Amino acid sequence: MTLLTAGKVKMSGWVLMIVAAVLVAGFFVMSQTRANETSREARGWELIAQGALLVDVRTPEEFASGHLENAVNIPHTETVARLSEYGANKNQSIVVYCRSGNRSGIAEGLLVEHGFTNVHNAGGYEAIMKVKP
C-alpha cells in the first residue's frame, strides 16, 4: 500500500463516520417529530378527560363508520354555524378531529377566527385511537 492509498483509506473512514453521524442525527430528528405528532393526540385525550366538547368534523358517512365515544358530528364546513346546537360557548374547551388532521385543522382555524379561544386539533381518528389511554 502506498502513502497515497493509505491517505484515501483514512479519508474514506472519516467520510463514513460523517455519514453515520448525519444518519443518526436524522433518525433523532425524525423520532422527535413523531413524538410531537403523537402529543397532539395525547393532548386531545387529556382535554376530553377534562370535559371538552368533542367534535368529529368528518362527513356523516365517515362518522357512521366509526367515531370516538361521546363525539358529535359537525362537518368541518359547518362547525362555526352549528356549535351552538351543542351549547358551546367561545371559551369552552373544544377538541376537533377528522380522518387525518387536515379538516380538523381547517375547522380549528375557522373557530379561532370566530373568537373561540380553546380549540384543539387532535388530528386523525386512527392516530387518536392508537394512543387512547
Active site residues: 98
CA-wise closest residue to 95 among 38, 57, 39: 57
The CA distance from 56 to 129, in Å, is 13
Closest CA to 103 of 74, 70, 129: 74
Pairing of strands 118-124, 53-56: unpaired
Q: Rounded distance, CA 43 to CA 45, Å?
A: 5
DSSP H or E segment with residue 124: strand 118-124
User: In terms of Cα–Cα distance, which of 53, 31, 72, 46 is closest to 128?
Assistant: 46
